[in-house]
Structure 1
Amino acid sequence: MADDNLSLRLEKMRGKRKKNGREKNLGERRYEEESPNLEQQAEKEVRQVTQVTNPGTWNMYIDGSSNFRGSGLGVVLKSAEGDMMVQSICCELKATNNEAEHEALIAGMNLTKDLGASKLQVFCDSLLVASQMNGEFAAKDSKMILYLDLAKSIVAKFATFSIKQIPRDQNTQAGALATLGSALKKSKFSSIPLVHLLAPAINKEAHTPKPVNPNPARSEPENSNTPKPI
């Protein structure tokens, strides 16, 4: 039954991606392996991180990026067992940095619910988003009020939820994914293999200087009676 429910969630996620066309998936492969089919890889990752019956808390790191190139979102989701799933999302819309941060939070929470998790702890480097979600700051802008109301309505679907602001240098993975999404706005790329370079391109041995013998053998005179080595 768990596998059937997971398959339904996968089909639902694929349908959403095809419908809105704004997510950019990040495939991954080792340098010595062939690039996998992106959809198969995504399904493999989902099966690895999903434990519907696991009562543990999932951790999610989010970030939103907005610059002259566009807007992007980054989501790093870690299961209670430590497995990880990542998303780099390209926004085909104009958004301020604060709006992008809220979009990342909402996208990440929806992903987590689709995977069947009920307990979630969120980490972000936006003090504003964390403070608004915790009721410490009030949302005054009309858009921010709408974002906050939507986010809280999704939070209500979790058994437990918390959000905490962390330093930017502790959120580098989500930040890199958000920057990638913003840089590829209106790009024709549908998938990007992430290649792991396991060794330098140059041959290390070919460029390693050969050791010089500090005591080279001295040539012996022709009439020398010194025995020659055999």
Structure 2
Amino acid sequence: MCYYKNVQAERGTQSHEGGGDGVSSSGVSLWVLKKLQYKRLKERANGKRKRGREQEKEESIRGYGHCFFFIIRCCNPPRREKYDVFISFRGKDTRLGITSHLHAALLQKKIETYIDCKLQSGEEIGPALRQAIEKSTISVIIFSQSYASSTWCLDELVHILKCNKRDGQIVIPVFYDINPSDVRKQHGSYADAFAQLEKRFDNNIDKVHKWRDALTTAANLSGFDYSNKSG
């Protein structure tokens, strides 16, 4: 069951009129901060329990020499994320709007954020971008009107959800000027985008199905609705 936080309804603001992007990005950044704080508190509690178990293990092997202790430490290093947040977005729709405002708001709160500042090119995302996704604690996906027309964005989305399933990465969808239902069911501009994708990838239709499944899955997650539309 999904839950969309409609900030316009709560605050009576418009997300893309008269500076509304700043208001919407502020709401998302505060939510991200809460998620990070909760995750860190949980990790701290788990860390205490883990350290207790590790201490018992270390005491039991101490008699076998320090070399065993060194091997265990090297083979089981603590997982460290490089970034707090990864932002997936369609540049032509949101780069100069909500994405830049959100990025600035997160940095102001000392939240380490990865944002791809380069113009997206090529058919598939590269290893560096995949690694940035994998090294992030939270991924924020900003769905906009032409998000689905970018195979780059769709590949990012598939990899983000893979990390969510495999590593428990937190995923927060933001629906900006797009109805969540259009994303979930691939209606409206998303239907137009997939009509083109199905023609373009007619020899690799499984890839198109993966993109569709990813959109449906992501749109069913708890997130923020800045669609300014009813229904």
Task: Provide the TM-score with structure 1 as the length reference.
Answer: 0.30
Task: Provide the TM-score with structure 2 as the length reference.
Answer: 0.30
Which has more radius of gyration?
1
Please identify which structure carries the higher helix content.
2
